[in-house]
Amino acid sequence: MKICIVGLPQSGKSSLFSALTGLGTESASAKGADPVAVVKVPDPRLEKLAALFEPKKKTAASIEFVELQGLAAGGPGKTSFSEQFLGKLRTADALLAVVRSFRDPAVPHPMESVDARRDLAVVETELLLSDLSIVESRIEKLVKQVAAKKSDRDVRELAALEKCRAVLESETPLRRAGLTADEEALLRGFRFLTQKPLIAVVNLDEDEIRREPEVLAPFSAWAEAGRAAAVGLSAKIEGEIGQLSETDAAGFRSDFGIARSALDRLIATAYRMMGLISFFTVGSDEVKAWTVSVGTVATRAAGVIHSDIERGFIRAEVVSYDQFIARGDISACRTDGTLRLEGKSYPVRDGDIINFRFAV
């Protein structure tokens, strides 16, 4: 999974990138390139399984964070995303927009005032205008194609794009367009930005941390509209916590009333919004977490591991994480029937421990 971090200048996106990855932006990028870091997904279940199996290798799921540079600020109220910037955004699976709530006279806001909800609207407007430009350009071409040589696919694509244009012209992101499965399939190649899950990270003042629900209240209706979420945190404080030992960090978080790290919260939010779950493969060689979408069937999950396993799929031996932990080993699960055989169409569930039987 790839998450791109965006935000207006002086929003704290570089501080957030460093807090999430443990890296400074300079050490995470080549000269002139966008900072990139691959972060392991924290999962206590993986740690518990590794402790029980004592494998040679433990492999967590991972997320690639990219802090995108290149948002232009031309003075108060004048911001824009370059075409190159927008092209990079299209490669992301989800977008993380950092908006500023903290106040610091030493770090002037490019729009000369602090208003996190306004800043999010600025970012969303740029994404929306980019999508609208692509939609209008494609509609213009399709109208000519359909007039010259009518094809069923072109007609259906044109109808889907006209639906998108109406949604975008109403200043509504495409993630709220109510597209059908057929429409989504037709439009997938465009990689529309407003169709991607969007997480707004409200970068708080130190004294706002304990008032997070109050500060986030203006974002609640926006988030509830679909495939969007708002998370409040202080990138500065999270960065400071990241430099501490686990014991000291826990105490520091307790002092501020912070239940979980920024990384834990953002990953959990991203998984929920994107409909992702984890299953595990275990053994003496390796214990590994794998990420799939909710509803993924056993054969497709096997293919995530290797195409040969999907092609030669016979059965999946499955036990839930909780059932396995309650019994302590696979043999006990097999004896009492909690380890079961499932077929190709079995929908993998979060926390499943799976051994795939296959032959090629």
Q: Indicate whether 10 and 150 sit together in one domain.
A: no
Within-domain flag for 81: yes
Within-domain flag for 151: yes
Total structural domains in the chain?
Answer: 3
With H, G, I as helix, E, B as strand and everything else as coil, classify residue 79: strand
Within-domain flag for 139: yes
Domain of residue 130, CATH code? 1.10.150.300
Which residue type occupies 111?
Answer: M
Domain of residue 68, CATH code? 3.40.50.300
What are the structure tokens assigned to 179, written together?
């597209």
Q: Indicate whether 106 and 34 sit together in one domain.
A: yes
pLDDT value of position 76: 46
Q: Indicate whether 71 and 186 sit together in one domain.
A: no
C-alpha separations of 204 from 34, 98, 259 in Å: 24, 10, 16
Q: Indicate whether 303 and 156 sit together in one domain.
A: no
pTM of this structure: 0.88
Within-domain flag for 47: no
Within-domain flag for 54: no
With H, G, I as helix, E, B as strand and everything else as coil, classify residue 253: helix
**Residue ending a domain, choose from 194, 213, 238:** 194
Tens digit of pLDDT at every position of the chain (360 positions): 999 999 999 999 999 999 998 866 555 555 668 889 999 999 999 999 999 999 999 999 999 999 997 665 554 445 567 888 889 999 999 999 999 999 999 999 989 999 999 999 999 999 999 999 999 999 999 999 988 887 899 999 999 999 999 999 999 999 999 999 999 999 999 999 999 999 999 999 988 998 999 999 999 989 987 789 999 999 999 999 888 888 898 888 888 888 888 889 999 999 999 999 999 999 999 999 999 999 999 999 999 999 999 999 999 999 999 999 999 899 999 999 999 999 999 999 999 999 999 998
With H, G, I as helix, E, B as strand and everything else as coil, classify residue 116: helix
**Residue ending a domain, choose from 169, 194, 219:** 194
Within-domain flag for 290: no
Q: What are the DSSP calls for 200-248, one per residue?
A: EEEE--GGGGGGHHHHHGGGHHHHHTTTEEEEEE-HHHHHHHTTS-HHH
pLDDT value of position 33: 81
Q: Indicate whether 96 and 210 sit together in one domain.
A: yes
What does the alpha-carbon distance between residue 303 and residue 136 come to, in Å, rounded to a whole number? 37
**Residue ending a domain, choose from 273, 307, 338:** 273
What phi and psi, each to the nearest 5 degrees, are found at residue 248?
Answer: -65, -35
Domain of residue 303, CATH code? 3.10.20.30
Q: Indicate whether 201 and 95 sit together in one domain.
A: yes
What does the alpha-carbon distance between residue 61 and residue 242 come to, in Å, rounded to a whole number? 21
What are the structure tokens assigned to 331, written together?
């043999």
Q: Indicate whether 8 and 97 sit together in one domain.
A: yes
Q: Indicate whether 253 and 318 sit together in one domain.
A: no
Q: Indicate whether 144 and 101 sit together in one domain.
A: no
What does the alpha-carbon distance between residue 69 and residue 271 come to, in Å, rounded to a whole number? 25
Within-domain flag for 327: yes
Within-domain flag for 282: no
The CB-side HSE value for 182 (13 A sphere, CA atoms) comes to 9
With H, G, I as helix, E, B as strand and everything else as coil, classify residue 118: helix
| Residue range of the domain that includes 95 | 2-42+61-114+196-273
Q: Indicate whether 83 and 146 sit together in one domain.
A: no
Which residue type occupies 84?
Answer: Q
Q: Indicate whether 97 and 229 sit together in one domain.
A: yes
**Can you point out the beta strands (E) in the chain?**
2-7, 36-40, 57-59, 62-67, 71-73, 79-81, 94-100, 198-203, 228-233, 276-281, 286-293, 313-320, 340-342, 352-358
Q: Indicate whether 85 and 10 sit together in one domain.
A: yes
CB 351 within 8 A of CB 320: yes
